[in-house]
């Protein structure tokens, strides 16, 4: 075993030979100590016998700490097995190179060591050199990862990447390039030569090569390529000439990007843009805050605003007085929740003119799933709305005309009923009595007197009925004008009451008039007299002998009320409800002395009162009497 002497050793040199030996040993010892590699001698039992200082520097242990333990104690557990196998081969005399293992440092970290080993001739020791390759290995790992990353990027990038020789041989192509050009693999693609079996681009290959030779690169060349199956694609190509140190071109490398879908999309976008610009409907795009970002020409034409005036504004600039804030809030709530809104706007143009629009507003979602814009498609439906409005008005007029015709028809039927029933009976009786008197069939003076009285009563009833018929028919036909004026209502009431005192006196009925004599109204004097006369006649007819009728005139806040009450026979509720309706037909009720009537008088009263701006009503209790009330406008101040 070779022993190394310490620096302070003193050796006696007997002669020249001893001096040479000493000098040689001293020099080897110096090299042993100065080596940056880890030098050592390991016994067959696995302990260090000699170590150079590099061990302390690399691992951080002292020499004593390293000598006291077997060298395998510092090995990484995963490296013990293969290291011991190699150590045994070294002891057996085999030279071993390139053993790799990890040695634990004093701080707990590990160093990668690469070993060279040779056993002694007697097999009792091994001479080894270990080199710290930790940093080299880290660099290699980084390099490997970089290579892997590059390869992964090269193969998976969606853009085609290639490398070719100037004469057209394909040196390299990634997966995207192969797929783009219709090949299943690079190996298949590499069999073809671009000069001989190229992809038939729309440019000349020789021109492409000459430009690369001259300028060194081509950027963003767009062209159409025809593939081997006849398919045409549009690509954007960038290429660069790579030269050696002498300036000779080694190869071309570059990228190709398939623009086919983009071109088609752009073509569609251009067509859509043209369609939007020429669209007969308004199209407005806003941001999520509601500010207008785009308005097509139709939107500008419909609103009267220029595109510049609309941009940046809220669509509420078109709001009319009929579109409420609440409606707008409901709209924005709907679309902000990601839903489509459909409805109608009543907008106002720049010149103040109003117009109607049917609108659909939809959110546009970005890649994050959130709305980025709102698109409104609106159609001017003003003409449609106005047509529908005119149609509704026409329908209403038609309906009113039909109702008017129905009313006229009811009037006609009523008139025929009255003529057939109420006139035929009294006139027939009147004729019979006249025949009896004129042909002398009775000589009894008292009977004759009674018959004459009946004739008088019948003639009066016929006259009253004819008067009402005439007045009513004139009103229905618009022949009788309502000419309102200020007049004393109490005076008119008293005049008409006086006319009926003789008739009331025959039944011993007392008529009382109550109210302020100075009460005036604004109404048609003649038609109000017709009403008062009819109501007094009815009250007398249905009031028994010795009964009482009260006419009361009262001034109220906004109108004047006239009520005529009696303590007569009264009416059922059903009769009261239909009292003023022409379609209810004639009445079959008779007065307390057998008086007959048609019911036309009350219908006439209703028409007269309503034409004077008032209203009429009735209330009654069967067996106790009735009260008819009508209200008229108060006197009109000049």
pTM passes above 0.75: no
Band (6; pLDDT cuts 50, 70, 90): very low
Structural domains present in the chain: 35-135 (3.30.450.20), 157-263 (3.30.450.20), 279-380 (3.30.450.20), 382-480 (1.10.287.130), 481-633 (3.30.565.10)
94: left (phi over 0), alpha (psi -120 to 50) or beta: beta
Band (14; pLDDT cuts 50, 70, 90): very low
Mean pLDDT of 453-474: 66
Residue 538 token pair: 């009815």
362 - beta bridge partners? Answer: 375
* Amino acid 132: pLDDT: 93
* Amino acid 290: pLDDT: 85
* Amino acid 457: pLDDT: 64
Mean pLDDT of 613-631: 93
Mean pLDDT of 410-426: 60
Least-confidence region, from 78-82, 190-194, 423-427: 423-427
Mean pLDDT of 438-463: 69
Mean pLDDT of 283-291: 89
Per the CB < 8 A criterion, the answer to whether 219 and 212 are in contact is: no
* Amino acid 637: pLDDT: 64
Span 324-355, pLDDT tens digits: 778 778 888 888 888 999 988 888 899 989 88
Q: Tell which wins on pLDDT, 10 or 549.
A: 549
Span 121-165, pLDDT tens digits: 888 889 999 999 999 888 888 888 877 777 777 777 888 898 999
- CA-derived radius of gyration, the chain: 62
- Does 297 score more than 90 pLDDT? yes
Span 477-507, pLDDT tens digits: 655 677 889 999 999 999 889 888 888 888 8
Q: Helix, strand or coil for residue 463?
A: helix
Span 546-565, pLDDT tens digits: 999 999 999 888 889 999 99
Band (183; pLDDT cuts 50, 70, 90): confident
* Amino acid 199: pLDDT: 60
Q: Which residue has the tokens 């028809």?
A: 409
* Amino acid 1: pLDDT: 30
Span 55-77, pLDDT tens digits: 999 999 999 999 999 999 999 99
Band (188; pLDDT cuts 50, 70, 90): confident
* Mean pLDDT estimate for the chain: 82
38 closest CA partner among 4, 66, 18, 17: 66
Which residues, 6 or more positions from 451, have their beta carbon under 8 angstroms from its beta carbon? 433, 436, 437, 442
Mean pLDDT of 430-444: 69
**HEC per residue, 595-606:** CCCCCHHHHHHH
Mean pLDDT of 390-396: 88
* Amino acid 588: pLDDT: 47
Q: Tell which wins on pLDDT, 413 or 282.
A: 282
Which residues, 6 or more positions from 249, have their beta carbon under 8 angstroms from its beta carbon? 166, 212, 213, 241, 242, 243
Span 565-610, pLDDT tens digits: 999 999 898 888 888 876 554 454 666 665 555 566 788 789 889 9
Which residues, 6 or more positions from 86, have their beta carbon under 8 angstroms from its beta carbon? 96, 99, 115, 117
* Amino acid 474: pLDDT: 65
Which residues, 6 or more positions from 327, have their beta carbon under 8 angstroms from its beta carbon? 343
* Amino acid 506: pLDDT: 86
Rounded to the nearest 10 degrees, the angle between the axes of helix 525-541 and helix 489-506 is 30
Band (544; pLDDT cuts 50, 70, 90): very high
Span 22-48, pLDDT tens digits: 566 666 778 888 889 999 999 989 999
- Does 193 score more than 90 pLDDT? no
Residue 198 token pair: 């190229």
């Amino acid at each position: 075993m070779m022993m190394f002497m310490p620096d302070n050793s003193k050796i006696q040199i007997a002669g020249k030979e001893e001096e040479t030996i000493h000098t040689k040993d001293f020099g080897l010892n110096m090299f042993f100590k100065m080596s940056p590699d880890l030098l050592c001698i390991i016994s067959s039992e696995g302990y260090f016998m000699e170590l150079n200082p590099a061990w302390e520097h690399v691992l951080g242990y002292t020499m004593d700490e390293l000598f006291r333990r077997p060298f395998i104690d510092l090995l990484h557990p995963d490296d013990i097995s293969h290291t011991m196998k190699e150590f045994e081969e070294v002891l057996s005399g085999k030279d071993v190179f390139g053993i790799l293992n990890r040695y634990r440092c004093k701080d707990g970290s590990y160093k990668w060591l690469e070993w060279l080993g040779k056993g002694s001739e007697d097999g009792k020791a091994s001479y080894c050199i270990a080199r710290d390759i930790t940093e080299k290995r880290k660099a290699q790992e980084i390099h490997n990862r970089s290579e892997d990353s590059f390869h992964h990027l090269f193969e998976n990038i969606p853009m085609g990447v290639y490398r070719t020789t100037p004469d057209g041989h394909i040196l390299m192509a990634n997966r995207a390039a192969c797929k783009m050009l219709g090949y299943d693999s690079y190996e298949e693609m590499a069999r073809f030569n671009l000069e001989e079996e190229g992809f038939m681009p729309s440019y000349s290959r020789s021109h492409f090569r000459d430009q690369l030779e001259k300028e060194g690169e081509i950027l963003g060349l767009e062209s159409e390529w025809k593939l081997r199956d006849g398919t045409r694609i549009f690509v954007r190509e960038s290429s660069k000439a790579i030269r050696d140190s002498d300036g000779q071109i080694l190869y071309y490398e570059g990228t190709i990007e398939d623009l086919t879908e983009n071109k088609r999309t752009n073509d569609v976008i251009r067509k859509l843009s043209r369609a939007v610009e020429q669209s007969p409907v308004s199209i407005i795009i806003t941001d999520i805050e509601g500010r207008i970002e785009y308005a097509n020409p139709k939107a500008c034409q419909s609103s009267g605003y220029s595109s510049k005036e609309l941009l940046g504004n809220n669509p509420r600039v078109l709001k009319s007085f009929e579109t409420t804030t609440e409606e707008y809030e409901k709209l924005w709530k709907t679309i902000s929740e990601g839903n489509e809104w459909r409805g109608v706007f009543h907008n106002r143009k720049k010149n103040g003119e109003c117009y109607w629009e049917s609108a659909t507003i939809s959110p546009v979602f970005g890649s994050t799933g959130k709305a980025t814009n709102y698109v409104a498609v609106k159609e001017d439906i003003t003409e449609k709305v106005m047509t529908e409005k005119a149609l509704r008005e026409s329908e209403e007029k038609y309906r009113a005309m039909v109702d008017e015709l129905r009313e006229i028809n009811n009037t006609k039927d009523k008139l025929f009923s009255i003529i057939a029933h109420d006139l035929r009976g009294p006139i027939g009786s009147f004729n019979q009595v006249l025949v009896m008197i004129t042909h002398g069939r009775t000589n009894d003076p008292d009977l004759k007197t009674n018959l004459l009285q009946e004739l008088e009563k019948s003639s009066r009833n016929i006259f009253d009925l004819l008067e009402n018929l005439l007045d009513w028919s004139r009103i229905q036909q618009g022949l009788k004008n309502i000419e309102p004026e200020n007049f004393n209502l109490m005076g008119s009431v008293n005049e008409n009451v006086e006319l009926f005192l003789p008739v009331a006196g025959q039944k011993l009925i007392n008529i009382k008039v109550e109210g302020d004599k100075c009460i005036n109204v604004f109404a048609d004097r003649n038609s109000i007299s017709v009403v008062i006369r009819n109501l007094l006649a009815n009250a007398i007819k249905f009031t028994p002998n010795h009964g009482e009728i009260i006419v009361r005139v009262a001034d109220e806040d906004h109108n004047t009320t006239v009520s005529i009450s009696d303590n007569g026979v009264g009416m059922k509720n059903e009769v009261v409800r239909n009292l003023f309706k022409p379609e209810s037909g004639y009445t079959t009720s008779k007065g307390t002395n057998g008086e007959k009537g048609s019911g036309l008088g009350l219908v006439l009263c209703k028409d007269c009162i309503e034409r004077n701006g008032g209203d009429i009503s009735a209330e009654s209790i069967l067996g106790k009497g009735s009260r008819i009330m009508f209200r008229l406008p108060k006197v009109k101040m000049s």
